[in-house]
Structure 1
Amino acid sequence: MHMLHTNAVPTPLERAWISEHILVQPLKDLAVLDGGIETVRRTFDELKRKRQKLATDIDAHLALLSPVRRLPGDVLREIFVSSLPSTHNAIIADREAPLLLCHVCAGWRSIALTTPRLWSSLHVVVPNQSHLQNVVSLVKQWLVRSGVLPLSLSIAISVAVVDNPEEEVAADSRLLDLLV
């Protein structure tokens, strides 16, 4: 049609011709193609779901074959000890050994919790009053896990403006008494 891609306005007769003759088959073809695309999309989504399930199953089985699963406990203990920070005492943080090792799997957690050398160094940051009880509890657990090994301790006490200095000193002393 000569008016395509122009700003021309079709007459009422031309509009009727376009609607009744020119667009009828292309609209049907477009609907068929849209249906085909939707069918392919559903098929694709289903294939992706099946692939993800299969890949997950394969990964789980490959994990069973991992060489680290065959390492004896004493070798894992040495590797764990080697993973401790070398530039500072261990901190109470999930992102760093030894706590990080406890989050890998139940087997590693068991080995880590029964390896006193992992717990024989500790850097304690004396927190504000609201977090002190949690820190005291974690430090107690840490010290129990270290067994009878000599400890390497470092302590950071932040100097902060407090409303009641006597309460703050008493709270800090609970932690310091535990460490002493």
Structure 2
Amino acid sequence: MDELLESNNPPLDAKHIQLEGVIGEGHWVLAGPQEWITQTWAVLEALLNEERHVNHLIESCKTILHPILMIPEDIIHKIFLTHHFEAIEREGRESLNGQFVLLVLSHVCRDWRRIALLTSWLWPFIMLDFNVYKNEQACQNLLQMYLLWSMIHDITLSIYSEKDLSKSHLTPVLLLSMPWWIYVSMVIPYNWLHAFSTT
């Protein structure tokens, strides 16, 4: 066989017949292993599916039994209340930062989010630093959600900016909430106060 493979010459007639026989017999011999491979692969697929199913079942049970779901709602309210006032007192805390404590707590689980969104007095204390916003569209969406969650409570607003606020997408959203402002703190250049003119 090695000699024939190394040569570019066609085999003699006798060898040709012999090689044709090897090919035919080889196909017949392969039929057995191929059938076993098919059956084995089907068993493996069934076992993998069973493994996935059991793992999903285990994770579902863990989720249902998670200790955070056992906390009574009044305790969750106290947790929000404590962190709410800590966030207000913490100087320079940016409300539209994804790490803002109330946003983080509202993403713990579905129940915590429901409680956070239904507790409207958590949201009317808004602190904005226009200098840090890189994606104003995302911040605009979040600010609109803040104002919606506050359910038209009186709003305490703190603004810091070195930019021209008249060009910001957030300014029109803020102006819509102006009737509910009870306290406003602004650190902005005097020339840009016109951005908050309603006339």
Q: TM-score, normalised by structure 2?
A: 0.59
Alignment match of 1:111 (pick from 90, 111, 115): 115
CA gap of 1:153–1:74, structure 2 versus 1, over 3 A, is farther
Q: What residue identity is the alignment partner of 2:95?
A: A
Match of 1:27 in 2: 27
Distance 1:136 1:107, change over 3 A: closer
Q: Is the 8 A contact 2:106 2:113 kept in 1?
A: yes
CA distance, structure 2, for counterparts of residue 139 and residue 44 of structure 1: 51
Q: Distance in 2 between matches of 1:122 and 1:33?
A: 71
Q: Which amino acid aligns with 1:151?
A: T
Map 1:60-75 → 2, pairs under 5 A: 60-75=60-75
What is the letter of the counterpart of residue 175 of structure 2?
Answer: R
Among 114, 122, 141, the alignment partner of 2:126 is 122
1:25 CA drift (Å): 3.0
Deviation of 1:37 after TM superposition, in Å, equals 1.5
Rounded Cα–Cα distance in structure 2 between residues aligned with 1:121 and 1:105: 23
Distance 1:105 1:99 in 2: 12
Conservation of the 8 A alpha-carbon contact between 1:89 and 1:121: no
Q: Matches of residues 68-147 of structure 1 in structure 2 within 5 Å?
A: 68-80=68-80, 82=83, 88-91=93-96, 97-99=101-103, 101-103=105-107, 105-115=109-119, 118-124=122-128, 137-144=144-151, 147=153
Aligned partner of residue 154 in structure 1, secondary structure: strand
Give the partner amino acid of 1:62: K
Higher alpha-carbon deviation: 112-121 or 24-33? 112-121
Unaligned runs of 5+ in 1: 163-167
2:17 corresponds to which residue? 16
Are the structure 2 counterparts of residues 133 and 55 from structure 1 closer, same or farther at C-alpha, using a change threshold of 3 Å?
A: closer
Q: Is the CA contact (8 Å cut-off) linking 1:123 and 1:154 kept in structure 2?
A: yes
Question: Aligned partners of 1:3 and 1:161: how far apart in 2?
Answer: 86
Query: How far apart in 2 are the matches of 1:144 and 1:100?
Result: 20
SS in 2 for 1:89: coil
Alpha-carbon shift at residue 17 of structure 1 (Å): 0.9
Residues 71-114 of structure 1, C-alpha deviations (whole Å, 9 max, x = no match): 12243345455498766222176x76534544554421232124
CA RMSD of aligned residues (A): 4.3
Q: Is the 8 A contact 1:102 1:109 kept in 2?
A: yes
